[in-house]
Chain A
């Protein structure tokens, strides 16, 4: 990909080397400055769990964790993630053991089409790490950055409420 682009772009637009920890593995990569983290994950690293919904930070389908905090991968430049520790939905499970938040989403049937689900789950894990949400009303408010066009909100909220104590007992999961 970078070979093709280097023919089409002036020499001053050079790929930048970055080193980051992605789902527990150290990765050394070359990225063009205008590549978003979401495009890096999906197009170059075949991690297609994170979804491109709106590509403008409005829907939350691209939510991933950077140093334990939830962010929109679509509004993040990959080159600015040099040195970061990133977790996508693919990195939440421990081997075959699903993350407590993933188990809660299954238990509560917290999805219909599933497109927003990776972002919802990463956002919910970020919410658990923040330790701010007390009760269902605050969960709803603090999940406002994740839209679900199927309208599975009630089950999503119930799943998160169920899983929060488990996530916080284990000190959260980055």
Chain B
């Protein structure tokens, strides 16, 4: 790890004013320190934000929930409001990482974790995300874990988060503060597709700090399911994951949310498929048609063609679980 300056500001404004192109905010540190140990990130200045008043959950006037950026992943997953009203989010968080990491990792930091593409993590090989313009060995190399949707010539990395897949399905809103003041970003717009600038994972500016994640009132607690498929039973990143949420009127779908993880540079949400599901009756045929539509533009690489079939089956199963079994509302 490189030497760096360390500051611990007391106020949001001070934190934002301390930030620069060569500084990083640190909270849980679970991904940032790992990247620093690999010399993939070498910030000159770490700004410790754990003293800021962002560690609580509160109810919003509209009946939603405002989650402070410093709430740990474990506290969020096991918070009674989240377990009861947003079980999809609890399930997704508990499907990721290990108990130790969930105790450390923050809500805001989860959004900012970097891809686990093994070429990105290997400083001895080129990578357009790590070193723009240097090339992408994953595209022609071993790409079993890589993207099947929304990739570019320059980058085929996937976003590693489970939590973000659920937040995309729940229509969360990201609140940020920069030197120019606060702004909000719709969750679906927060992360980027790689395009010709894969070094940029998201829309945040250097001086911007995530302050809160806002959940709207609709939590789909009756009919939601998070399904994660990985190489081992626990503590592994998703090959494919699905966040499925439905609002039903008898057998008829009134509202649908369908987001995939592990398949693209960001949580993959297809609003056209969600709209098509509205008015359809719950059935295996309906869900299979939805899966086929979502995956029609999939472009698998040499080693990840299996992900298309896996995603198709995972979508059908997740929607079926959501419709028939419901979430884990207690």
21-54 of chain A: CB within 8 A of chain B: 32-34, 36
Contact of A80 among B29, B78, B100, B235 (CB under 8 A): B29
Instruction: Tell me whether A55 and B37 are in contact (CB under 8 A).
Output: yes
A34 close to B98 (CB less than 8 A): no
B100-A145 in contact (CB<8A): yes
Contact B99 A80 (CB under 8 A): no
Contact A70 B5 (CB under 8 A): no
B234 within 8 A of A: yes
Q: Which of B6, B97, B103 contacts A69 (CB 8 A)?
A: B103
Within residues 46 to 80 of chain A, which ones have a CB less than 8 A from any CB in chain B? Answer: 55-57, 60, 63, 69-72, 75-77, 79-80
Q: Does B48 make an interface contact (CB < 8 A)?
A: yes
- Residue B296 CB within 8 A of the other chain: no
Can you list 12 pairs linking A and B with CB atoms under 8 Å apart? A10-B3, A12-B5, A32-B3, A33-B46, A34-B4, A57-B34, A71-B100, A75-B101, A75-B104, A127-B99, A144-B99, A144-B235
Given that A33-B6, A72-B104 are contacting pairs, would A77 and B98 also be in contact in the complex, using a CB cutoff of 8 Å? no
The answer on a CB contact under 8 Å between B104 and A71 is: yes
Shortest beta-carbon distance from A137 to chain B in Å: 10
Q: Is the CB of A77 within 8 A of B29?
A: yes
Which of A34, A72, A76 touches B3 (beta carbons < 8 Å)? A34
Among A9, A36, A57, A130, contact of B101 (Cβ-Cβ < 8 Å): A57
Q: Are A60 and B98 in contact (CB under 8 A)?
A: yes
Contacts A34-B1, A69-B103, A71-B104 aside, 9 further interface pairs with beta carbons under 8 A come to A63-B100, A70-B100, A72-B30, A75-B30, A75-B101, A76-B29, A80-B50, A123-B99, A145-B100
Q: Which of A10, A60, A77 contacts B100 (CB 8 A)?
A: A60
Q: How far is the CA of A141 from the CA of B1 in the complex (A)?
A: 32
CB of A142 closer than 8 Å to a CB of B:
yes
Q: With A33-B5, A34-B3, A75-B34 in contact, is A132–B26 under 8 Å at CB?
A: no
- Using Cβ atoms and an 8 Å threshold, which residues of chain B touch A34? 1-4
- The 4 A-B pairs at the shortest CB distance, nearest first, are namely A145-B98, A33-B6, A144-B234, A144-B235
A16 proximal to B (CB < 8 A)? yes
Q: A33-B4, A77-B33 are in contact. Are A72 and B101 (CB under 8 A)?
A: yes
Is A100 an interface residue, CB under 8 A from the partner? no
Q: How far is the CA of A132 from the CA of B3 in the complex (A)?
A: 39
Bound complex: CA of A143 vs CA of B99, how far in Å? 7
Nearest CB in chain A: distance from B163 CB, A? 17
CA–CA, A130 and B102, complex, Å: 12
Give the complex CA separation of A33 and B5 in angstroms.
7
A118 interface hit (Cβ, 8 Å):
no
Residues of B within 8 Å of A, CB-based: how many?
27
A166 to B78, CA, bound (A): 23
Q: Which residues of B contact A77 (CB under 8 A)?
A: 6, 26, 29, 33, 46
Q: How many residues of A contact B (CB 8 A)?
A: 35
Residues of chain B within 8 A of A32, CB atoms compared:
3
Contact A16/B101 with A56-B37, A144-B234, A144-B235 known, Cβ cut-off 8 Å? no
Contact, CB under 8 Å: A145 / B37: no
Could you tell me the distance between the alpha carbons of A12 and B5 in the complex, rounded to whole angstroms?
Answer: 7
The distance in angstroms between the C-alpha atoms of A119 and B103, with both chains bound, is 15
Is there an interface contact between B4 and A57, defined as CB atoms closer than 8 Å? no
A54 to chain B, nearest CB (A): 10
B137 to A: closest C-beta gap in Å: 22
Interface centre among B30, B33, B48 (most CB of A within 10 A): B33
A56/B34 in contact, CB under 8 A: yes
B3 touches A9 (CB 8 A): yes
B32: nearest chain-A partner, CB-CB: A75
**In the complex, chain B residues 1-56 whose Cβ is within 8 Å of any chain A Cβ:** 1-6, 26, 29-30, 33-34, 37, 46, 48, 50
Contact of A13 among B3, B37, B97, B99 (CB under 8 A): B3
Bound Cα distance from A132 to B34, whole angstroms: 28
CB distance from B50 to the nearest CB of A (A): 6
Instruction: Determine how close the nearest CB of chain B comes to the CB of A142; give it in whole angstroms.
Output: 5
Q: B7 — nearest CB in chain A belongs to which residue?
A: A33
Within 8 A of B (CB), among A77-92: 77, 79-80
Residues on the A chain within 8 Å of B98, using CB: 57, 60, 144-146
Give the Cβ gap from A30 to chain B, nearest Cβ, in Å. Answer: 13
CB-nearest residue of chain A to B30: A75
B235:A145 contact, CB within 8 angstroms: yes
A103, B53: Cα distance in complex, Å: 41
- B324 nearest CB across to chain A (Å): 23
Which of chain B's residues have a CB closer than 8 A to the CB of A142?
Answer: 99
